[in-house]
């Protein structure tokens, strides 16, 4: 290994000055082209993202959800059961209601579609002054009385999500895993456009 290094160094030192200049020029040109391509790609990505228009759900807390929420907060229905059917629209309006009083959250225009085998969701994330549409698809299942999601796909502006988005999802999942719910979900049935949720107050 030592002999090879010495030979390489000796070869480099014997290279003419003009050859060295051409080497650095070509190397710098390649780096410049690569940087230009990265910048152009990022500009195109954010340009498409900024033009995306999503339906904006009204911030509404539906009475059925509000009743469960009140018992949840008051803890006055321990042992009692509840049942509710939540539609796509109800889910989007509830999320919109949750984020409305929190203007610092960099998220708006929640989008939710419930299917028998999965749930797709997303919205607009504000990043670097741009509105960036983020979408994901997940399978939903019950584990120890708590809904869990197995994220199968995440996309940003129609392309694969960058690393920072994936990391944010992981952090959000970690926070959710630490939460203790005052209800135990006993039934979670997904149908096209709606989900049946049944459970018991703890």
Model confidence at 2: pLDDT above 90: no
Q: What confidence tier does 132 reach under pLDDT thresholds 50, 70, 90?
A: confident
Distance CA 92, CA 65 (A): 13
Distance CA 103, CA 150 (A): 28
User: Considering only 139-153, 155-169, 173-187, which range has the smallest mean pLDDT?
Assistant: 155-169
0.85 exceeded by pTM: no
Q: Are 189 and 172 in contact (CB under 8 A)?
A: no
In the numeric block, which tokens belong to residue 99?
Answer: 């984020």
Helices (H), 134-190: 163-178
pLDDT at 116: 96
Strand order of the β-sheet with 81-87 is: 81-87, 194-201, 183-191
- The SS3 call for residue 20 is helix
Q: Which helix (H) or strand (E) holds 49?
A: helix 17-51
Each residue's pLDDT tens digit, 135-146: 999 999 999 999
Q: What confidence tier does 37 reach under pLDDT thresholds 50, 70, 90?
A: very low
Residue written as tokens 């469960």? 68
Distance CA 89, CA 112 (A): 8
Taking Cα atoms as reference points, which of 15, 176, 188 lies closest to residue 86?
A: 188
Each residue's pLDDT tens digit, 49-76: 445 578 899 999 999 999 999 999 999 9
Model confidence at 43: pLDDT above 70: no
Each residue's pLDDT tens digit, 94-126: 999 999 998 888 889 999 999 999 999 999 888
User: Considering only 33-47, 56-70, 113-127, 158-172, which range has the smallest mean pLDDT?
Assistant: 33-47
Torsion angle of the four alpha carbons 73, 178, 188, 57, in this order, in degrees rounded to the nearest 10: 70
Greatest mean pLDDT among 31-35, 93-97, 152-156: 93-97
- The SS3 call for residue 27 is helix
Average pLDDT taken over every residue of the chain = 79
Taking Cα atoms as reference points, which of 199, 182, 122, 127 lies closest to residue 155?
A: 122
- 106 versus 45: the higher-pLDDT residue is 106
User: Considering only 36-50, 52-66, 161-175, which range has the smallest mean pLDDT?
Assistant: 36-50
Model confidence at 46: pLDDT above 60: no
Alpha-carbon dihedral sign for residues 169, 171, 176, 177? positive
């Amino acid at each position: 290994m030592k002999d090879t290094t010495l030979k390489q160094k000796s070869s480099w030192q014997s290279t003419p000055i003009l050859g060295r200049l051409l080497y650095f020029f070509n190397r710098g040109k390649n780096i410049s082209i690569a940087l230009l391509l990265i910048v152009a790609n990022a500009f195109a990505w954010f340009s498409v993202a900024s033009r995306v228009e999503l339906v904006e759900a009204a911030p509404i807390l539906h009475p059925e959800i509000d009743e469960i929420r009140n018992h949840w907060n008051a803890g006055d229905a321990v042992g009692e059961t509840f049942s509710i059917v939540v539609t796509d629209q109800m889910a989007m309006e509830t999320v919109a209601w949750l984020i409305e009083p929190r203007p610092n959250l960099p998220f708006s225009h929640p989008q939710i579609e419930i299917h028998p085998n999965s749930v797709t969701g997303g919205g607009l994330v504000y990043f670097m002054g741009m509105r960036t549409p983020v979408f994901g698809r997940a399978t939903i299942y019950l584990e120890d009385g708590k809904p869990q999601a197995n994220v199968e796909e995440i996309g940003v502006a129609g392309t694969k999500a960058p690393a920072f988005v994936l990391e944010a999802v992981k952090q959000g999942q970690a926070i959710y895993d630490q939460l203790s719910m005052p209800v135990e979900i006993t039934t979670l049935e997904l149908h096209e456009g709606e989900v049946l949720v049944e459970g018991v107050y703890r």
